[in-house]
Amino acid sequence: MGWKTLDDMDLAGKRVLLRVDINVPVENGKITDTTRIDRIAPTVHDIRAKGGKPLLIAHFDRPKGKVVPALSLRITLGALRRALGCDVAFVETLEALEAGTEEQGEADVLLLENIRFHPGEEANDPAFAARLARLGDIYCNDAFSTAHRAHTSTEGLAHVLPACAGRLMQAELEALETALGHPKRPLVAVVGGAKVSSKLDLLGNLVEKVDHLVIGGGMANTFLAARGLDVGKSLCEHDMVDTAEAIRLKALDLGCTIVLPSDVVVAREFREHADSETVLVDNCPADAMILDAGSESVKRINALFDTAATLVWNGPLGAFEIVPFDMATNAAAQKAAELTKAGRLVSVAGGGDTVAALNKSGAGAAFSYISTAGGAFLEWMEGKTLPGVAALGG
């Protein structure tokens, strides 16, 4: 572990520039999900307990270096005060922060206005980094979800102030290191979703690292087509079959087993409770769509989980949003959760659809770690260097 944590820093009497991700969903002027705000609380509490004063630096949406009043972080103030249980003062401009006020001095926590209102942020401008650095003593990054961006507040500041990871960043990095860095084996990966083309880097990296790779969703159809099977009217990238075959051959050469469905659930309509049937993969009707893995496929996947020590999961096994095509995802997720609770499996999952699918299955809470970092999680799994992590020394 090459990066420092809050445990390595002397924060007494120090102002801590704390990069957080509180880019929460908003509808009709109201926050609809406070998860991202709630998850920064442990870091804020620890900084304050060690005698530091947190200055929250965050973005909201994409104002592209311009002041857009509709994208003000002021909307998060109420939720922040509730989640943190303390007084949070909102600072509208850098000038106001530089000048200082009595309110700022008395507040427990400061929240700076949307950092992306400044063109220097996304440009990772050294002069902007130097200006921000003068406002604090320590830099703490608790926003793994933005770590794949080389911006001033995610990367630049780490080069001009003593830097460390916050508790959320620390948990994410430790979970990913456990899953892919130095995993207990056998290591199984589940990769699902619609398109092979969007996950080429991921598949290419995983076949070099995992013992077994389970492929599901629309991606599996492309691999089935590469085997010469008719997938009917299923979602399938027929122009990617050669690429899918190349991945299969690479896996074979590296000793990684690729697991595809042996039976599938097919339907003529993509809708809730559509008439469906389960057929073997070589018997998909020409007028039907493959919308889920079948029960025999799930048995094979679950048996594989029984032998595994570590599981990494990205993407659903079928059209999990609609019944009954959520069966395979739900059943496999519940098996993984059961093994995790029994202490037999370390399970790490991430990616937008993955989080939604695992939460829908009711199994998500039992996983060892579920990342909500989206793009950063995927880039880490692809084996890419994340600027925000590299800048911390990791």
Instruction: Report in angstroms the alpha-carbon separations of 307 from 43, 184, 187, 214, 295.
Output: 36, 12, 9, 14, 19
- CA 151 to CA 292: how far, in whole Å? 40
Active site residue 393: no
Instruction: Report in angstroms the alpha-carbon separations of 249 from 76, 314, 339, 375.
Output: 50, 22, 31, 27
Active site residue 105: no
> Helices 77-84 and 41-49, interaxial angle, to 10°?
60
- The DSSP secondary structure of 283-313, one letter per residue, reads G--TT-EEEEE-HHHHHHHHHHHHH-SEEEE
The residues that bridge with 259 in the sheet, in sequence order, are 214
Instruction: Report in angstroms the alpha-carbon separations of 241 from 132, 221, 224, 371.
Output: 50, 10, 9, 30
Strands (E), the chain: 15-19, 26-27, 30-31, 53-57, 88-91, 109-112, 138-141, 163-165, 187-191, 212-215, 257-259, 263-267, 276-280, 289-293, 310-314, 346-350, 369-371
Active site residue 13: no
- CA 63 to CA 74: how far, in whole Å? 15
Active site residue 375: yes
- Cα Rg, the chain, nearest whole Å: 23
Among candidate residues 374, 375, 383, 394, the one labeled active-site is 375
> Helices 295-307 and 327-341, interaxial angle, to 10°?
20
- CA 265 to CA 291: how far, in whole Å? 6
Among candidate residues 14, 48, 50, 195, the one labeled active-site is 195
Among candidate residues 352, 374, 383, 394, the one labeled active-site is 352
8 Å CB contact between 77 and 113 = no
Cis omega (within 30 of 0) on the bond before 183? no
Residue 95's Cβ-side half-sphere holds a number of Cα atoms within 13 Å equal to 0
8 Å CB contact between 270 and 323 = no
Per-residue burial over 340-371, b = 16 or more CB atoms within 10 Å of its CB, e = otherwise: beeeebbbbbbbbbbbebbebbebbebbbbbb
Residues with catalytic annotation? 36, 195, 352, 375
